[in-house]
Amino acid sequence: MRIGARTVKTGLAVTLTIVLVNILETRIGNLGYNLAGMAAITAIIAMQPTIKGSLKTFRNRVVATFIGTVITLALAFTLGLNAFYLGLGSIAIVLICLALGLNESIRFALITLVALGIHHNGFDIMEVVYRVAGMLIGLTISTGLNIAFLPPDYTDNLKIKINDLRVKFEHLYEKVINDLLREDKIGKDTIKDERQIIRDELDDTRGVYSLLAEDIFLTRDSLPTNTIIIKKYRRSINAIQSNLERLTAMHRSIVFMPGDPQYSGLRQDLYNYLKYLLTLHRHIYSAIALGEDYKAIEKGVCAEEIGHKITKLIKTDNRESIFEFYNAYFEATRINEKLEQLIEEFALCTNGVRLE
């Protein structure tokens, strides 16, 4: 089992927070406040998956701490801190945070209210001060560690996700084009289910992309070269989404194509063209996701010639089913265009792939 950087940083944040807060308690001369527990919880909650997330969390939760503290003090010096009034204070905190756009920090402000408002030995203003200080220590340590120590880098994770995505896409692609050469077609439900799996994978991959993009555009890594690279990764993800729609439309055309023996040669030509595109797809995404050298491949087919054959056929036979040959060919050319764009944008060449 691999231990990630965030796991290590969370452990360090808890350790440093408890040590520093214990020192604070020693300086205070009264260990009865038990500040370390709440401070450590604060450090754990504040650990975010990105640098931008940590900075945003730090800012918002400092404001949330202030809101929770103010509401607690207002209740302590007016209505009191019994269960009923703490409930009313919770409602006030929620409304204030929503008004300020601090939706994600609502729970933190409520935790502050509870941590400061529940006392067994009477309300002590100094305890409030010390508890707030402990929570701010936890926030500061957690944020500082996430930025300075093993800052998160999702590049490798994104490449893995892109590779997983393309493997699923290529598996479905191969199933679809094989329907050109066999009588028994893949069921509509099978295509629908596998397409949904790929769409879910697209969402997961975009989630990792967003984490990487947040940090690249926020930190010193936002150099022109790196911003271009992250945009290219986005293009590679979008290309699969676009080609997935092309593939779905293509399969509909394959299903409704005439199956007469005289069209077997044209079916074979389309299959060869689509098989070439599948090989091209594998080479491109192996370079993008796995860092392998990109090697140009021989076409072995002439797409223009296939197009001329289909056009000639349509002129002599204008049945609706004949147009499905053209529809499938048209979707194939659109897939080819996306792949050629990736070759250009990633600067793929026979001597390797330049991603950095």
251 contacts: CB under 8 Å, gap ≥ 6: 176, 179, 186, 191
How much is the pLDDT for 108?
A: 80
Per-residue pLDDT at 98 exceeds 80: yes
How much is the pLDDT for 353?
A: 42
Segment among 156-165, 175-184, 224-233, 295-304 with least mean pLDDT: 224-233
Residues 164 and 35 in one domain: no
Tokens representing 264? 């077997």
Between 299 and 190, residue with greater pLDDT: 190
For residue 41, the SS3 value is helix
Residues 138 and 233 in one domain: no
Closest CA to 145 of 2, 1, 3, 15: 15
How much is the pLDDT for 216?
A: 62
Identify the domain boundary among 99, 124, 148.
148
Residues 204 and 236 in one domain: yes
How much of the chain exceeds pLDDT 90, in percent?
33
Distance CA 221, CA 217 (A): 7
CATH of residue 265's domain is: 1.20.58
Per-residue pLDDT at 350 exceeds 70: no
289 to each of 31, 104, 162, 232, how far by Cα in Å?
A: 54, 34, 6, 12
**Residue 32: pLDDT band with limits 50, 70, 90:** low
Segment among 37-41, 65-69, 308-312 with least mean pLDDT: 37-41
Identify the domain boundary among 87, 116, 148.
148
How much is the pLDDT for 242?
A: 93
Helix (H) or strand (E) holding 349: strand 348-349
What is the DSSP secondary structure assignment for residue 219, as one 8-state letter?
S
Boundaries of domain holding 261: 155-353
Mean pLDDT on 279-287: 91
**Residue 352: pLDDT band with limits 50, 70, 90:** very low
Between 329 and 142, residue with greater pLDDT: 329
Per-residue pLDDT at 261 exceeds 50: yes
Residues 159 and 39 in one domain: no
**Residue 49: pLDDT band with limits 50, 70, 90:** low
Question: Could you give the number of structural domains in the chain?
Answer: 2
Identify the domain boundary among 130, 148, 166.
148
**Residue 238: pLDDT band with limits 50, 70, 90:** very high
Report pLDDT digits (tens) over 291-336.
Answer: 888 888 888 889 999 999 999 999 888 788 999 999 999 999 999 9
How much is the pLDDT for 119?
A: 64
pTM of the model: 0.65
Residues 236 and 120 in one domain: no
Per-residue pLDDT at 151 exceeds 70: no
Residues 324 and 178 in one domain: yes
Residues 295 and 190 in one domain: yes
Residues 117 and 227 in one domain: no
In the block, tokens 């939706």 appear at 103
How much is the pLDDT for 297?
A: 82
One-letter identity of residue 331:
E
DSSP of 109-177, one letter per residue?
Answer: HHHHHHHHH--SS---HHHHHHHHHHHHHHHHHHHHHHHHSS----HHHHHHHHHHHHHHHHHHHHHHH
Average pLDDT, the chain: 81
Per-residue pLDDT at 284 exceeds 70: yes
Bridge partners of 353, per DSSP, are 348
Segment among 54-58, 264-268, 282-286, 323-327 with least mean pLDDT: 54-58
